[in-house]
Structure 1
Amino acid sequence: MIQNYLTAILCLFLSLKTFGQTTNQHASKRVLNAPESVYKKFRDAGMNPVNHELTENERAKVEKAFSFLPPLHQKILKANLHSISFMDNMPNTALTSPVENQDSLKVFNITFRAGILNETISQWATAKELICYDRSTNPDYEIRIEAGEMDAFLYVLLHEATHVVDAVLKLTPHPLEKDTLMEPTVFTESIWYKMNIPVEKFIDPLLEKTRFRGGSPLPVEVAPEIYAKLQKTPFPSLYAMASWFEDIAELETIYHLTQKMNQPFYITVKKNNAEIFHFEPLKNDFVKSRLKQLTVFYEV
């Protein structure tokens, strides 16, 4: 037992020593194997994740993406990013996890599915959106997100890094239980009632049935109606409706890509190759009214 205890202490010491060394590195170079807790989470889900060793080309993509992050993200990650990791056979796109630290400083690991290094934002975002729909009901329909040809890793990094900034600065409330009522922040006031429940005026029966609200894939032919309903809310995407954590991450990511990097971001619904609906979040007045809140990410 004493030997096991000493081994555990040694592992913790080495982990903390590694973090002390990595804080002197640029955030993009803090590439480590993912924490065992992350592997366990995926194994418990029936997956067999393995560490992915980056190629030189992939490392260059990672470093380039980090250089595009907003000023506040750069500042927070310099102090609070423990490591980034890449996996093959990972069930989701990314996972941000807290890492034990020797003091009160919050530090995080972000684990990415390595495959996104070889996808564009348009390809990845479209594939993610399509899980909301059952396309077998009407093959005449096509849904696509046009978001440019930059690496999907950039979008996912922006999103996950926003989670880290949010966790460190508490830009949204962080309840211990999801049903807890919390004092709102500027990012949640008049939009969210609880962590994953919008205020009543933004609850729509159809939107509540969508995949990211806990529903099942819906017939693809209802997509125009879904996006018409979404246009009557302040949420920039269907995924933003999952919780206020995802909302702030989606809002900042789409804003940064479109307004700071001049990339497109819009959803098209086509029937028989003819466009029948077009949704562009940053042209929605409800979404536009929130953009002034995002100055916090740039005034550092």
Structure 2
Amino acid sequence: MLATTGIYAQQVNGLLGKALTERTQPAPESVFRKFREAGMKPVNHILTVSEKEKLNKAFSFLPPLHQKILKEHLSSVSFMDNMPNTALTSPVETTGPEKMFNITFRAEILNQTISEWATWKENSCYVQPENNDYQVTIEAGKLDAMVYILLHEATHVVDAVLNITPHPDDFDALVAPTPFTADIWSKINKPKEKATSALLETTRFRSGKPVLISSAQKVYEALKETPFASLYSMASWHEDLAEILTIYHLTQKMGQPYRILVNKNGVNVFVYEPFINKQVINRQSLLAMFYTPYKL
């Protein structure tokens, strides 16, 4: 999740010259305040030895461009207990023109696999009544959830530095498209009509409300007709980039699975695999920049 520019600031400290794996510190006070004001009781989480190893491993899996950008623009990494959302990428105040960022993660994810975490998140899109016959699961292998979530959040940093997607202050602003957003997005959080559907517009990341899980098969049938890799991709063009790059890297570069399964009474009735979707595949040429030398 990308925070609005200029919010949740923290002064840059001496961590910048250190290796990425050594930039862990408590989150900015304003991030703590944000969650306290929401009724939470966030607490700084100090990593154990095994948790540090998971973080180090996740950093090692990042694409070359992410490694380069983070070395120059990641101020710090933080972990919290009692944090409501999975992660938050926030801009950090500096004394110069450079853009710096903090990424804060919910510590609970350190104990989950990608499959476990992704299934939990996907099910937040659905209302599951009693005597429900349907189940939605995501098969994404046994790697640590931290691998997926760090890559997703780090992509927000790369995007903010390079403006792969536009970053207007006003969500309703009409701005010139970039190659990534052209023909798919009309505004930061509004897909073009041809890239969505009436049903998809009712889903959680478009409407803010979950839908009945009995409609899941129709939801993914509709998603299959779009250029989006996931339902969360449809939240904004920032999330679109972070999701498609993360799922691309996971499946096409690391050889991991990523399948959304809809079952009814234990029997599979539908599968959605993003990189079997031709419209998603057609966008992967836009991701080549993450794997080739890039001059800032």
Q: 1:1-300 counterparts in 2 under 5 A?
A: 15-16=11-12, 18=13, 21-136=14-129, 139-300=132-293
TM-score of the pair, normalised by structure 1: 0.93
Q: Which has the higher Rg, Structure 1 or Structure 2?
A: 1
Q: Which amino acid aligns with 1:29?
A: E
Query: Contact 1:88/1:114 (CA < 8 Å) preserved in 2?
Result: yes
Distance 2:222 2:266 in 1: 23
Distance in 1 between the 2:17 and 2:175 partners? Answer: 37
Please give the per-residue CA displacement for 1:178-218, whole angstroms capped at 9, x wherever unaligned.
00001001110000000000112123111011011124221
The Cα offsets for residues 130-160 of structure 1, whole Å up to 9 and x where unpaired, read as 0111111652111100000000011100000
Q: Where does structure 1 lack aligned partners over 5 or more consecutive residues?
A: 1-11
State the match for 2:5 in structure 1: none
CA distance in 2, matches of 1:211, 1:86: 26
How many corresponding residue pairs?
285
8 Å Cα contact 2:89-2:156 kept in structure 1: yes
Q: Distance in 1 between matches of 2:76 and 2:201?
A: 36
RMSD between aligned residues = 1.3
Amino acid at match of 2:220: Y
Which ranges of 4 or more aligned residues in structure 1 deviate by more than 4 Å? Answer: none
Task: Check whether the contact 1:143–1:270 (CA below 8 A) recurs between aligned residues.
Answer: yes
2: distance between equivalents of 1:295 and 1:22?
Answer: 30
Any stretches of 5+ residues in structure 2 without a counterpart? Answer: 1-8
Which is richer in helix? 1
The percent of aligned pairs where both chains have the same amino acid is 58
The amino acid across from 1:285 in the alignment is K
Distance in 2, matches of 1:42 and 1:65, equals 26
Secondary structure in structure 1 of the residue aligned to 2:143: coil
- 2:25 corresponds to which letter in structure 1? L
The letter for the 1-side match of 2:213 is V
Structure 1 residue 22 displacement after superposition: 1.5
- In 2: Cα distance, 1:105 partner to 1:236 partner: 32
